[in-house]
Chains A and B, each alone.
Chain A
Amino acid sequence: MPGKLKAKIVAGRHLPVMDRASDLTDAFVEVKFGNTTFKTDVCPKSLNPQWNSEWFKFEVDDEDLQDEPLQITVLDHDTYSANDAIGKVYIDIDPLLCNEAASVISGWFPIYDTIHGIRGEINVLVKVELFNDLNRFRQSSCGVKFFCTTAIPRCYRVAMVHGFVEELVVNEDPEYQWIDRIRTPRASNEARQRLISLMSGELQRKIGLKVLEMGGNAVVGYLQCFDLEGESGLVVRAIGTGCTLDKVSFGSAPNTNTHVHPSTAPASNACNSPSKDGKEPVFAEDLPSFSGPPTPFRVLPTSSSSPPPFSPSKPCSRQSSSSDTDLSLTPKTGMGSAGKEAGPLKTLLRQQTQTALEQREFPFFTLTSFPPGFLVHVGGVVSARSVKLLDRIHNPDEPETRDAWWEEIRQEIKSHAKALGCHAVVGYSERTSICEEVCILSASGTAAILNPRYMREGCLDTGNTEPRFDEPSPPSCGFCHIPYDELNMPFPAQLTYCYGCRRQKVPDVLFTTIDMPSEAAVTGKGCLIQARLCRLKKKAQGEVNATAISNLLPFMEYELHTQLMNKLKLRSMNALFGLHIQISVGENMLLGLASATGVYLTALPAPGGVQIAGKTPGDMSNEHHILTIQKRINDTIAKNKELYQINPPELTEEVVGSPIPEPRQRSRLFRSHSESSDELSELDLSHGKKDAFVLEIDDTDAVEDIHSLLTDASPPSGFYSCNTEIMPGIFNWTSGVQMFTSVRVFRLSNANLTNQGLNKIFTDLCENLLKSFYFKLRSMIPCCLCHLNFTVAVPEEELIQVAVTAVAMTFDKEQILEKPGDKIITKGCIEGEEQLQFSMELCADSSGISTQQLSKISGVPESTNVSPRAASVDYGSFADRCSTWLELIRLKAHTIRRGSIKTSRRTQSLAHSVSSLERSSPLPEGRSRSLRSNRSFGGSSVTVVKMTPLSFLPGTRIIKYLGIINMFFIRETTSLREEGGVSGFLHTFIAEVFAMVRAHVAALGGNAVVSYSMKECMLMENPNKNQAQCLINVSGDAVICVIETDQEPIHTAVGPRQTCSSGADGTT
């Protein structure tokens, strides 16, 4: 009997009127876990019942604790007829199973009903007592921590990265018919909600077991998805990165890297790498040649699969190629192996990494940002897609088919990475798109070479003291250096010497799926770049349909890629981060949307302009037309350069001096320069085929394409946008944060649309959405839309649905110029022996307030560094302030309970404030109560919970992760018109989902959700019947965060951290 779950029902409020006669409700509550059910007494005639029940105790296996949710049903007692259900609350008790997360769940939960939405709230207390289980063969994995965050969580230190974990669970979807029969009884949707909750519990437990087997204790970058395969069943699958994490006492939590930015001055980067590059031994293996026609796909009896010929590796602009579509499990010998490497140190590095990685079946990492030094080189994007025909899952206990499908895709990814000379794939993600019985499976990631020290046991502690040769490249450019070998390039690319260190080769453009490494040097600002594409296809069934889709895929990928490339050039940038390519399938069309954040990496060469070439020279009017377009393009580029502040230092060989030894290299370098200076003939020579940035106008379509390139509006002044965590080039975030979700559905009016027409509509749809965001958020200027995550779908034949979740964050414009000074210091620290706590940006006002409040509470005299800056006090800071008090108190309660407070050498002021608070206030309970009442200032008694898709909240520090939030809701209506149409229906539903997420986080004791994402938003409507139904799946990490005081960055920047801790000591 390894666990006891205890629940107590305290009270309800705002209940709906269930008895029309009395205008009141006789409510009682059923509490169910597994097969055990308890009931409270009926609280007669009240809309605000007080049950104050006994503790209901469930004695259960910890396996069940992981799988099952606690199910609370509120009912209206009816003497004569059946009791009416008011609504339900599902509580995932997983956060209670890990002793580092939450210890109690307590708070007001919205009572949710699939038809009526939120109907009042219920106050519940839940606790778990776990008994130690030493059974070696146990099925549970209690204690394994899960994080949605795709970076090392803020208050942990990674001791070891074990690698890829994956699992999938399938089940018959008992109610799959709900898609066809929109009128379903509420019971059927509740059954689905329950089932999916159960399946995700089971999935999480199984993944946890795998991590335990690996010797890890956490899953980072946990990504769980549902495939609603309709008739053939329901698949819940998840991937993540197994890690061993060490808790860092929160005072010295490594604030990882997002704020940190090194100096952009390339000259300051001392380069320690051996300069023996370019002397690779010649060897004879063939370059993978470009396979002209698409690889013929194989038709399998039940499924068809076609690896798209262009997809495999697209690190650079060229249509990469690869004959390497065979799925052989044996890795190609030679490619990327140590023997072909340049310097001996590099070789050593390779070998270490290889040994560390080769035991793993899939050296994949779902992380998108990494501790400094983790990422050595980045090769480029690798992706694979496959089209499958769904069939009924016969035996849910052995989901072999689905496993095999993914296995196949992953092998393909792995071999693509190898082709790029890389051992690992980072920023890895998987997704599906399903339409009827056809399913597109996609996976993508970034091929990379990693620092082996994170793969070895116990390496990290010593890792920093290892000799410098372990890091052969300067951090600001090292990751750009090509991992593959120059003479044996997997695709035609144009290499130059790195503009950062001048010693190693870099490609002319770099595409990745990860966040920009914090140490990378950029010039100017970045921006969101999207490629959008619609392709019509004939309606078809079964294999014919699958075949048609497989045939279209490569062309779509190619076109998306070309668009991205052209748009990148138009913005005068040379790298893409956070690249996500989504291809969605509908009955009569395919939608492709690629989003990424473009930047100008200082280490990479300046992009050349975009040239227009006419097919028919001599035609005067045409010539003129081309000239006009060319002029427009040049103007756009010039404008963008100014807009994004891209003014790369004019570097010429003479000035820099030449570390390049061989004349051959030199001439090559010159040539690449001349390319950027618009010499077309040279260009053609060097490539031998049409380059992506020469646009040929041969027909009207091409003209259209060019026009569409130019129609992308840049954000209005004061706005920036990106789809990565933060905007490269902005450092001083303030505390204003507004997370939002927006959904638009567009109905294509006439059936005879062309591809061009569709593209236009789709592009406008996306552009208009962005414009709407800018308009709505105009009060936040200057502000940046971060982590813009677009999801497209074709829910019905003539509908296009675009859903966006993003966060708008304010920043301080004034400080932009001051920052570089700080940055240099920053960098010094980073290179020091420790990852330092760092934050460049602080909300002066809120932190000032918090300092004051802190000192008031604790009796500490006003601390010194209260910022004099008086920015407008926004709500955010108010909320921060409130919740900070609360969290400090909670935190204190925790530390008291645990009996110790870790004050390491580096514990900083905040920790000290807390501990001093502890000492000075002997009555913590009374205090906390008084704080609670303070918090209700303005009449509000609801905890403010911030939400963000990012892994952090600016101006705050995460001091505790409380567990993963993974929620699934269905909402239905039979009175669509009365609820304001589909818009009104969905608006309410999304607001309700937010409310339920916030309530759960608050009940766990948290005040924020980080890494929030909306995985699924499936809307079905039938206006004729006045009905609609929607399904939403969201996830994120519940956290406690506190406002950072102003002192830290100053002290950190100065260097010795003792200063600040002693400073804080002095105040106690």
Chain B
Amino acid sequence: MQGVNRARGEPGLESGCHYDALDKMAVELDVFVGNTTIMDEEVYQLWLDGHTVNDAVKVRMEGGVLEECEASADVLMSDTMDQYRTFQMCERLLHSPTKLANQLLFQIPPHRQAILIERYYAFDDVFVREVLGKKLSKGTKKDLDDVSAKTGVTLKSCRRQFDNFKRVFKVVEELKGRLVENIRQHFLLSDKLSRDYAAIVFFANNRFETGKRKLMFLTFQDFAFCGGQLINNWTVGAVDNMVEDMDVDLDKEFLQELKELKILIADKDLLDQHKSLVCTALRGKTKAFNEMEANFKNLSRGLVNIAAKLTNTKDVRDFFIDLVEKFIEPCRSDRWTAADMRLYLTHYTNSAHILDTFKHQLVWDRYMGVIKSCIFKMYHD
């Protein structure tokens, strides 16, 4: 019986024999098939979370479903097995969600199909934090057991999530058009989830470093937000929306132009002028004024240097770590509040427009717009 039920090497069905009573050992076959496929959302979640049938039964028992329905443990066992089997049979279809709507094997109401897909592609923030920006390769997949141990997400679930990332990545990699829209159409995901996947794909493609200790305080949602900002403003797609990979690769021309911003720190007059403009505007408006004034040159150098170096792939990868090291950490050690940060960056950006010798207003705005919103999002504990 054990051997028989070991479906496709999945850990889920190994436990076909764990009926409670001894004589229940002898249930050789047990299936239930509805014309409309019956799926219990709770069990689906347990399956997605990579629990074995036995664990799932335990969790369900603790949830009190038995008392509700006057059922016994083996009823629960049988039901859980059935559902697990159904999910496994559906899994193939979930890999290309558009097929799910056209297939004939399972009659699943459309709203349930949507739930199935959405849940299947949902991921754990703790997990995605671990692989965000990593190459979605076999090597990474091999290390998933470490990730599993570290995050407490079961290996099975880790694999599913990783495979989802990889699958989405592969499909949208070579498609024209907007990344988020492509994901939504090909995987029938909700807007929110599509955007999250867009960010994951974007991070994986550009291999942003997110795993350093210094970045640990950032959540996936912080990164997803920043990723969205970058996709919308810094990629080729931001200017031309009919190119392949348009949302995945940064706009090379723009990165080249960013070098021009160096004048803001290289030209001493310009730097002083910028500083005095900012300080005039800030004076009396914040308690951290003294620190701002003292650090202005450092901070400005930090931001402009980041911009100037983005033509190097290596420095693109370090974008977030640079932001943290060069800007966020100094501010935090000076105990700026979030409001201070806003105030400072707003004036910092706007003052540059008043500098009469500074000619790169468009590039500056395109750069600072993203930097501002990223730092606002990232500036927390």
Contact = CB atoms under 8 A, between A and B. Distances in A.
Interface in A858-886: 875, 878-879
Given A776-B79, A938-B101, 7 more contacts: A13-B102, A110-B105, A738-B35, A740-B33, A768-B72, A878-B110, A977-B7
A745 B103 contact: no
14 contacts: A745-B29, A778-B69, A875-B112, A878-B109, A938-B114, A940-B101, A941-B102, A944-B107, A980-B8, A980-B85, A980-B88, A983-B30, A998-B104, A998-B107
A875 B109 contact: yes
B381 interface: no
Interface string A920-945: 00000000000000001111111011
Contacts of A745: 27-30
A947 B36 CA distance: 9
B3 interface: yes
Q: Which 9 A-B pairs have the closest CB atoms?
A: A938-B110, A981-B4, A875-B109, A980-B7, A939-B101, A745-B29, A716-B70, A739-B35, A990-B33
Contacts of B109: 875, 878-879
Contact of A799 (B28, B34, B89): B28
B69 A774 contact: yes
B267 interface: no
Contacts of A986: 29, 31
B74 interface: yes
Given A743-B29, A1023-B4, A991 B79 contact: no
A771 B72 contact: yes
B228 interface: no
Contacts of B16: 981, 983
B23 A749 contact: yes
A842 to B, nearest CB: 20
A768 B26 contact: no
Contacts of A744: 27, 29-31
Nearest to A948: B35
A978 interface: yes
A878 B114 CA distance: 15
A938 B79 CA distance: 28
Contact of A749 (B7, B25, B81, B114): B25
Interface string A716-760: 100000000000000000000011111111111100000000000
Contact of B38 (A110, A776, A936): A776
Nearest to B188: A939
A76 interface: no
B31 A990 contact: yes
B79 A775 contact: yes
Nearest to A996: B104
B71 A995 contact: no
Contacts of B38: 738, 740, 776-777
A981 B6 CA distance: 7
B3 A14 contact: no
Interface string B110-131: 1111100000000000000000
Interface residues of A, number: 68
Interface residues of B, number: 57
B78 interface: yes
A770 to B, nearest CB: 10
A412 to B, nearest CB: 37
B68 interface: yes
Interface of B: 1, 3-8, 13, 16, 23, 25-38, 68-72, 74-76, 78-79, 81-82, 85-86, 88-89, 98-107, 109-114, 188
A768 B71 CA distance: 9
A366 to B, nearest CB: 25
A13 B101 CA distance: 13
Interface of A: 13-14, 108, 110, 118, 121, 716, 738-749, 761, 764, 768, 771-778, 799, 801, 875, 878-879, 936-942, 944-947, 976-984, 986-988, 990-992, 994-996, 998-999, 1019, 1023
A221 B211 CA distance: 70
A764 B20 CA distance: 14
A980 B28 contact: no
B29 A977 contact: no
A212 to B, nearest CB: 35
Contact of A772 (B6, B75, B110): B75
A746 B27 CA distance: 5
Contacts of A743: 29-31
A988 B113 contact: no
Contacts of A947: 35
A716 to B, nearest CB: 4
Contacts of A772: 32, 75, 78-79
A980 B114 CA distance: 26
A854 B76 CA distance: 44
Contacts of B111: 875, 938
A988 B86 CA distance: 9
A965 to B, nearest CB: 14
Given A978-B8, A980-B7, A981-B5, A987 B105 contact: no
A868 to B, nearest CB: 24
A994 B103 CA distance: 13
A995 B37 CA distance: 11
Given A742-B31, A743-B31, A875-B109, A774 B71 contact: yes
Nearest to A980: B7
Given A772-B78, A981-B16, A982-B4, A937 B26 contact: no
Nearest to B106: A991
Contacts of B110: 878, 937-940
A936 B113 CA distance: 13
Contacts of B4: 976-977, 981-983, 1023
Nearest to A945: B107
Nearest to B21: A764
A1019 B33 contact: no
A602 B69 CA distance: 32
B33 to A, nearest CB: 4
Contacts of B26: 746-749
Count chain A CB atoms within 10 A of each CB in B6, B28, B72, B81 and give the residue with the most: B28
Contact of B6 (A940, A942, A977): A977
B6 to A, nearest CB: 6
Count chain A CB atoms within 10 A of each CB in B75, B101, B188 and give the residue with the most: B75
Contacts of A944: 107
Contacts of A121: 104
Given A939-B110, A977-B4, A14 B75 contact: no
Given A745-B27, A942-B102, A739 B107 contact: no
A873 to B, nearest CB: 10
Contacts of B34: 738-740
A939 B98 contact: yes
A947 B3 CA distance: 35
B102 A14 contact: yes
Given A772-B78, A775-B76, A799-B28, A941 B101 contact: yes
A775 B113 contact: no
A995 B38 CA distance: 15
A741 B188 CA distance: 31
Contacts of A747: 26-28
Contacts of B89: 984, 987-988, 991
Contacts of B78: 768, 772
B5 A983 contact: yes
Nearest to B117: A939
B113 A940 contact: yes
Contacts of B68: 778
B16 to A, nearest CB: 7
A875 B114 CA distance: 13
A996 B113 CA distance: 20
A118 B92 CA distance: 13
A545 B290 CA distance: 106
B27 A987 contact: no
A654 to B, nearest CB: 44
A801 B34 CA distance: 19
Contacts of B113: 938-940
A990 B35 CA distance: 10
